[in-house]
Amino acid sequence: MNTYYADLHIHSKYSRATSPECDLIPLHHWAQLKGISVCGTGDCTHPDWSKTLKESLILDQDNGLYTLKPNLRGTLTHQLPESCRAPVHFMLTGEISSIYKRDNQTRKVHSLILLPSLEAAATLNTKLAALGNIFSDGRPILKVDPRNLLEMLLEIDPRCALIPAHIWTPWFSMLGSKSGFDSIEECFGDLTPHIFAVETGLSSDAPMNHRVGFLQKITLVSNSDIHSPARLGRNATRFFGTPSYDNIMAAIKGRAPHLFGGTVDLFPEEGKYYHNGHRSCGVSLTPEQSMACDNLCPACGRMLTIGVLHRVMELAEKHPPLISAKRCPVPPYHHIIPLDELLSHQIGNAITSKRVKAAYLHALATAGPELPLLIDAAAKQLDALNEAGAMIKQVRLGKVHKTPGFDGIYGRIYPQDA
Ligand SMILES: [Zn+2]
Ligand SMILES: [Zn+2]
């Protein structure tokens, strides 16, 4: 069975705080290095990016996805190891930041949107332009209730989808502790049946999400939400079969084991909001430690920033699992440490150093693109990579050291010695 990877939530150079490299040709290049077969375009609501997409992409009639026009595909091929060269398809995707009032409270919820065609994206943009400024940011901030955004998408084309983005981040997410909700129903009301997937985000994984009753029956997807193409696929979703718009939708809607291969996540402890804490005070606490001091910072006495683990525990208490673990096993998932981080750990130089970059390309030239290498490669292939291969094996077994992230600071994860 063919295995392939998709990373559907990314940002273009038109989003705030992104690299100018977030353009189609570098994305096409990095997708091949990472082993991403289907890459989101990101930011399809931005008029200038949307124009670039229209000029540079063509519809592949065979699968309902888009590819770079042939004259653009070869631009960086000379820099690409032979072992990584593969077709890359693009899906039209974007993210909307909804800031709006519900029940007199300000809510901030991010939604990932998937669209089947450039025409659907153009219609959406006309409608969104009437609601606010879609030029200001690749991820526009609009005063639109996500329920109404979903309704708008389904009216434009019933093949569109809305996936609540990084659902646990304290600010800007459906279940976020600061300005979100306690369930999907509270956010989407009568349209809840049209929400068939949620995005795990950087600080959570499948087992954590599975602790909450209403998330047991929903598909979990994972995406990188990148602001620079070199980070593509740090989180991704795994699929089986032939890549196509309809197959991806069917996999997400039905979770059939012959189509849906589960999530690929960094270890959730690496996320910026795993533990509770205070960045300025250097305080990082587990939910238990935090509750023992009423969630007040032992250093400054102010309220701690509540992390994802705490929020998951809170909602799992409110919405306990509906079905026993036996009858409803945790969906498939894989934890990874990106290859450049492993090599940087092994070599002792920064990820951006020449040595690490050269070792990275050498490993890919030997054993193929990154995600299939980290997840699917046989032991024999890993042996060809010597020390790096041994580290990948340790990561697959979960044998890693973890320093959890908190209050906006990334955690640190590295493999135990074999
Ligand atoms: Zn977001
Ligand atoms: Zn403090």
Domain interval for residue 392: 338-404
Q: Beta-carbon neighbour count of residue 415 at 10 Å?
A: 22
- Domain contains 284: no
Task: Report the residue count for the chain.
Answer: 418
Q: Rounded to an integer, what distance in angstroms lies between the CA atom of residue 146 and that of residue 100?
A: 9
Same domain? 164 vs 253: yes
Q: Rounded to an integer, what distance in angstroms lies between the CA atom of residue 34 and that of residue 200?
A: 20
Q: What is the pLDDT of residue 18?
A: 84
Q: DSSP letters along 194-244, please?
A: G--EEE--TT--HHHHTTSGGGTTSEEE----BSSGGGTTSSEEEEES---
Contact 162, 190 (CB under 8 A): no
User: Could you identify the residue written with the tokens 């929020």?
Assistant: 311
- Domain contains 107: yes
- Domain contains 73: yes
Tokens describing residue 362: 């050498």
Q: What is the pLDDT of residue 70?
A: 93
- Domain contains 89: yes
- The closest ligand to the CA of 173 turns out to be 1
Q: What is the DSSP letter of 306?
A: P
Same domain? 262 vs 343: no
CA 97 to ligand 1 centroid distance, Å = 7
CA 403 to ligand 1 centroid distance, Å = 24
- The closest ligand to the CA of 281 turns out to be 2
Same domain? 238 vs 377: no
Q: Beta-carbon neighbour count of residue 402 at 10 Å?
A: 15
CA 284 to ligand 2 centroid distance, Å = 10
Q: What is the pLDDT of residue 180?
A: 92
End-to-end CA distance of the chain: 31
Q: DSSP letters along 340-404, please?
A: HHHHHHHH-S-TTSHHHHHHHHHHHHHH--HHHHHHT--HHHHHTTTHHHHHHHHHHTT-EEEE-
Q: What is the pLDDT of residue 325?
A: 66
CA 113 to ligand 1 centroid distance, Å = 11
Total count of domains within the chain: 2
Same domain? 364 vs 245: no
The whole-model pTM stands at 0.95
The whole-number mean pLDDT for each consecutive block of 10 residues of the chain, a chain of 418 residues, reads: 96 87 93 98 96 97 97 88 97 97 94 98 96 89 96 98 95 91 97 97 92 94 93 96 97 92 96 94 97 96 94 94 78 96 96 96 97 96 95 97 95 93
